Amino acid sequence: MLHADADRALPSSGIALQPELPLCQTDLPLDWYQAEFKPYAEEYLALPDRKPGTVLPWLDGYVQPALDHFGNSLLLLAHYYMGGEIVKLVERYGGGIADSYALALQAVRHPEKKVIVESAVHFMAESIAILANDDQAVWITNPKAGCTMEMLAKDYMVLPVAEQLIERYGDELVCVAYMNTSGRLKALAGRTGGAVCTSSNATQVVDWARRDGKKVLFVPDQHLGRNTAAKLGMADERVVCLPDPQVTRGAFPIDDRVVPGGLAALDASEMILWGSFCGVHTVFTPQHVDWWHAHGWQVHVHPESPREVVERADGSGSTAYLWKLVMEAPRGAKLAIGTEGHFVRNAREQAALRGVEVMHLADVPDPAFGTAGCGCATMSRNDPPHLAGMLDLLRKGTPPAANRVLAGDSVDERSGALDRLDEAERRELVADAKRALEAMIEVVESA
Ligand code: SF4
């Protein structure tokens, strides 16, 4: 790993980082690689170590010829949550690192880029594809890199439930789809006159969606939904969370038996939340916040965290908010950050250069807690062999079709099976999903 100093003790607090992140970017077993990627994985695993002096020359052997071949038409992208290794590699080769909103805009902002290669989760690549021009192709280095929050809100789970709600409430119901959804759900938002939102603009977008007393179906994250409802002053009893999708595992009937509080609560609600969540952001507890506060640290968290954590923290906001906060903190500041582990590790490295201490909220150095900050494991399925293989196969003109990302694609994260829409269905989906994305942009820009 490139984080040679990851387990070094902080000078002033004496608090040591966990030497390794649980669920961090580790070498995936070979059976996680598609057949086309196995030769690259075998070479990578045979390298004597993972030090930059070893990995970079190996990677250069594949990346440099691809850069020479595609020139300025190639764009490499990664999300902040990728392990530091991939983030640094993408930066080394002139690529961009961003949050999901900024990633989504990359194709539109760079029409000269025709081959866009993303190391992040699938919905992020699909959002780029939805907004891309016809002559821009989007590729993901590992199509099985899904988002677990999105995996609990697949179209076959949500759409039949949404149909029942539309039947019951008609035009009164409007869907707001968090960026962490497939294009199929973004299209649902567009079809119902709703919008996409991000964690930085969810409050604005939901407030807009409630216009004329409309009822909001918020998908997929129950915690962002609940935090947003609280910010907008909605009473708890006017917010209904649908059943846990880990239990239902598919569509379910909207009736008194299944809906918490029954149909009366649903009819009286202002906001209906899909029950998904992010495992990385739900490890946090109010006790974590209290511990850091008691030791003189400020706490800031991502709003995918539970409401009681967000309300206890000194601030909450998107990935971009947290990054800016760390980068602008004055020397001597001590910040415990509640979000994805690789992001905190990257932020910690940058902050240390400016005399700012950063810790992961769950890394409480007290054995009574027994918790540790974790990384987004599925995002980390994009590793150096996938990046090397993707670029090499693209250069040779033999990229696997499964790595191409088209709007409306649905990938089974376990088997890799791909369900791809036909051209007419895709065009319809793009029109609806674009409408939802454009509604968000309009709401934000007109504020
Ligand atoms: S951190 Fe959570 S919400 Fe973000 S991509 Fe990973 S699983 Fe999805």
| The ligand 1 atom nearest the CA atom of 150 | 8
Residue 105 contacts residue 179 (beta carbons within 8 Å): no
Residue 161 contacts residue 185 (beta carbons within 8 Å): no
Any atom of ligand 1 within 6 Å of the Cβ of 179 = no
Report how far ligand 1's centroid is from the alpha carbon of 176 (Å).
18
What pLDDT score does 49 carry?
Answer: 86
**C-alpha dist (Å) from residue 77 to 100, 117, 125, 322:** 11, 6, 9, 20
Dist CA 419 CA 409 (whole Å): 6
| The ligand 1 atom nearest the CA atom of 124 | 5
What pLDDT score does 27 carry?
Answer: 53
Q: Which long-range contacts (CB under 8 A, 24 or more apart) does 134-139 make?
A: 136/107, 136/111, 137/404, 138/107, 138/404, 138/405, 138/406, 139/115, 139/390, 139/394, 139/399, 139/403, 139/404, 139/405
Dist CA 408 CA 190 (whole Å): 14
Domains and CATH numbers, the chain: 30-145+382-416 (3.40.50.10800), 150-279+430-445 (3.40.50.10800), 286-360 (3.40.50.10800)
Candidates 79, 376, 378: which one to mutate for ligand 1, based on the most atoms within 8 Å of Cβ? 376
Residue numbers of the chain with a pLDDT score lower than 70: 1-30, 83-85
Any atom of ligand 1 within 6 Å of the Cβ of 208 = no
Q: Look at ligand 1, atom 8, and give the residue with the nearest C-alpha.
A: 147
pTM of the model: 0.90
What value does the mean pLDDT of the chain take? 90
- Residues 327-379 pLDDT 10s: 999 999 999 999 999 899 989 999 999 999 999 999 999 999 988 888 888 88
